[in-house]
Chains A and B, each alone.
Chain A
Amino acid sequence: MQHPFLKNKNFIPYIVAWLLVAAIYGFALYSFYGLEWKTALEDSLVFHLLFMGLGLAYWFNVRYSSFDKSQMFNQVISHLAAATLSIVAGVFLFKTIMNLFEHEDTYTEFMVSSYPLRAALGVLYYAIVVLIYYLILYYDDLNQKTQRQAQLESMLKSSELEMLKSQINPHFIFNSLNSISSLTIINPEQAREMVVKLSDFLRYSLGKENHQMNSVDDEINNIMLYLDIERVRFGERLKVEKEVSKEVKDFKLPNLILQPLFENSIKHGIYESLGEITIQLKAWKEGGLLKIEVSNEFDPNAVSRKGKGIGLKNVSERLSLIYGVNQLLEVKRGDNIFTVRLDVPQTEIE
Chain B
Amino acid sequence: MKAIIIDDENLARQLIKTYLSKFEEIEVVAECADGFEGLKAIQQHKPNLIFLDIQMPKITGFEMLELVENPPVVIFSTAFDQYAIKAFELNATDYLLKPYSETRFQEAVKKALAKVGQKENNEEEFENLKESRAQSESLDRIVVKTGNKIQILALTEVHHFEAQDDYVAIHSIEGKFLKLIRMKTLEQGLPEGDFVRIHRSHIVNVKEIEKLELYEKDSYLLYLKSGKTLPVSRTGHSKLKEVLNY
Contacts and interface: CB of A to CB of B under 8 A. Distances in A.
B57 A303 contact: no
Contact of A306 (B15, B34, B140): B140
A86 B12 CA distance: 90
A303 B152 contact: yes
B15 A273 contact: no
A186 interface: yes
A170 interface: yes
Interface string B27-49: 00000011010000000000000
Contact of A180 (B10, B55, B58, B99): B99
B234 interface: no
B184 interface: no
A271 B57 contact: yes
Interface in A158-175: 170-171, 174-175
B79 A232 contact: no
A270 interface: yes
A235 B57 contact: no
Nearest to B156: A303
Given A174-B98, A178-B12, A235-B10, A302 B80 contact: no
A175 B79 contact: yes
A195 to B, nearest CB: 12
Contacts of B12: 175, 178-179, 182
B141 interface: yes
Contact of B11 (A232, A272, A302, A303): A232
Nearest to B7: A178
A183 to B, nearest CB: 6
B91 interface: no
B153 A303 contact: yes
Given A171-B79, A185-B18, A303-B152, A178 B11 contact: yes
Nearest to B153: A303
Interface string B54-94: 01111000000000000000000001110000000000000
B11 A186 contact: yes
Given A182-B12, A233-B9, A171 B99 contact: no
B141 A178 contact: no
A227 to B, nearest CB: 16
A276 to B, nearest CB: 12
A177 interface: yes
B34 A185 contact: no
B201 to A, nearest CB: 26
A186 B18 contact: yes
A273 B57 contact: yes
A206 interface: no
A185 B56 CA distance: 24
Interface of A: 170-171, 174-175, 177-183, 185-186, 232-235, 270-274, 302-303, 305-306
Given A171-B80, A178-B9, A181-B99, 7 more contacts: A177-B98, A177-B99, A185-B15, A271-B57, A272-B57, A303-B141, A305-B140
Name the 4 nearest CB pairs between A and B, nearest first. A182-B15, A174-B79, A178-B98, A182-B11
